[in-house]
Amino acid sequence: MTDGPSPVRLASAGIGVVGASFGMARYGYGLLLPDIRAGYGLTSGALGLIAAGSYLAYLAASAAVGPLAARVGARRVVVLGGCCATSGMLLAGLSGTPLVLALGVLVGGASCGLVFPPFSDAIEALVAPARRARTLAAVSSGTGYGIAIAVPIALLAGSAWRSAWLAFAVVSMLVTLWAARVLPTARTCATPRELPRISRRWLVCPRSRPLLLGALLIGLGSSVYWTFAVDYLVTEGSLPISTSRLFLVLVGSATVLGTLAGDLLRRFSPAGAFSALTAMLAGSVGLLAVAPGSLGLAAFSGVLFGASFSLIVAIQSIWTSRVFAERPSARLAAVMFMLGLGLLVGPPAAGLLADRLGLGAVLLLAGGLAAVAGALPPRERLMQAAAKTC
């Protein structure tokens, strides 16, 4: 461990860029979806394809981030990710056609694959072992902070959704500058020859299969909720757009609970906690599907979803340190890659199915996929010292 910023400063920088990239550059699209649909007259299938561009860029960035962080250092990769988020949202805010909007969503989506994994390198090098799990869990909860800031901006913007994108870009620029100030300029990750290339042989082994398959299923199930929940409340629940966006305040606020993942794993078995959380996630998606017109049930669904999703992702992030020990950014990129694959496939498939079956039926299917992930819990104690690699 080397001298550097305190865990609190490091966590604040991570929360900031993760909030801007995930909470705004990615999930801001779902937040603004009803007005985008109305402005361009797009079908659910077309909207799902635009969302898929974000996840495609995320997937490509996740595959490249491990070797890239090893070569140029965590700080430069994080700043690159922040610049992608800022420029992507600027493009979306200045867009005059669906094509330009799609390009902005795609560029912004790349940021999600770049900003989170390098913080694993920094935390591994700069934070005492006893505080690493809590710090990493705090960074992973940044999505909630981003959403909590994005929703009031969207409410103030009203139907002027392009103005909301521009305001998101300003926030992104500020937090990127903060991360650049906090992260040390010296490299904090392993040298390139110590970090393996992400190959099938390295990625897939008996201990990693439950982790990676579970991440894929969580990505598939949750992507439908993140992309279409607000639109579903407006179109099927007949709730005002402003009320539906306040619903995302609850989701975003609840995701902050991901910070508690490290403490949760100290008190409960990883398998029990993971299975209970996936059941909560599945239940929250199913509840929204059957009761879009009930504000109270929708709010309850949002709290359940936000809390369970963020805790699951945080647990999976900690889990990677047991399965891929000694490989910080590459190990986290591996699970983010599988999560991103699910997030990529989910929206376009859901959009196409929704045009035929309705969004309610698709949400029920998504909840079922999340429930299946509960059969793939960790089989080891995650809070022990890092184990051997697989």
- Reported as a single tens digit per residue, the pLDDT across 88-140 is 999 999 999 999 999 999 999 999 889 988 887 788 778 887 787 778 778 87
**Would you tell me how many other CB atoms lie within 10 Å of the CB of residue 130?**
9
User: How far is it, in rounded angstroms, from Cα 176 to Cα 90?
Assistant: 15
Label residue 385 by pLDDT band (50, 70, 90).
very low
pTM: 0.75
Q: pLDDT > 90: what percent of the chain?
A: 28
Position 315 scores a pLDDT of 82
Mean pLDDT of 158-175: 95
6: left (phi over 0), alpha (psi -120 to 50) or beta: beta
Most confident of 67-76, 99-108, 221-230: 99-108
Position 193 scores a pLDDT of 42
Higher pLDDT, 57 or 258: 57
User: How far is it, in rounded angstroms, from Cα 242 to Cα 159?
Assistant: 10
Place of tokens 């700069």: 126
Position 205 scores a pLDDT of 61
For the chain, what is the radius of gyration of the CA atoms? 19
Label residue 377 by pLDDT band (50, 70, 90).
confident
Give the domains, in start order, of the chain with CATH numbers: 7-373 (1.20.1250.20)
Q: Which residues contact 193 (CB under 8 A, 6 or more apart)?
A: none
Q: What are phi and psi of 357, to 5 degrees?
A: -105, -20
Label residue 245 by pLDDT band (50, 70, 90).
confident
User: How far is it, in rounded angstroms, from Cα 176 to Cα 356?
Assistant: 42
In the predicted model, is pLDDT for residue 81 greater than 60?
Answer: yes
Position 53 scores a pLDDT of 85
User: How far is it, in rounded angstroms, from Cα 97 to Cα 133?
Assistant: 44
Position 380 scores a pLDDT of 59
Contact present, 320 and 17 (Cβ < 8 Å): no
Higher pLDDT, 18 or 55: 18
Position 52 scores a pLDDT of 81
Label residue 194 by pLDDT band (50, 70, 90).
very low
Mean pLDDT of 65-73: 81
In the predicted model, is pLDDT for residue 191 greater than 50?
Answer: no
Mean pLDDT of 39-59: 84
In the predicted model, is pLDDT for residue 192 greater than 80?
Answer: no
Among 212-221, 242-251, 303-312, 322-331, the least confident range? 322-331
Position 235 scores a pLDDT of 85
Query: DSSP letter string over 304-335?
Result: HHHHHHHHHHHHHHHHHHHHSTT-HHHHHHHH
DSSP-derived letter for residue 353 is H
Q: Note the pLDDT tens digit of each residue in 284-301.
A: 999 999 998 888 899 999
Label residue 207 by pLDDT band (50, 70, 90).
low
In the predicted model, is pLDDT for residue 190 greater than 60?
Answer: no
Among 253-262, 302-311, 333-342, the least confident range? 253-262
Position 270 scores a pLDDT of 77
Label residue 195 by pLDDT band (50, 70, 90).
very low
Mean pLDDT of 204-230: 82
- For residue 161, which of 205, 120, 208, 104 has the smallest C-alpha distance? 104
In the predicted model, is pLDDT for residue 175 greater than 90?
Answer: yes
Mean pLDDT of the chain: 82
Contact present, 340 and 59 (Cβ < 8 Å): yes
Which amino acid is residue 378, in one-letter code?
A: P
Q: At what angle are helices 44-72 and 33-40 packed, to 10 degrees?
A: 120
Q: Note the pLDDT tens digit of each residue in 311-364.
A: 888 788 777 766 665 555 566 677 777 887 887 788 888 888 888 888 899 999
Contact present, 154 and 31 (Cβ < 8 Å): yes
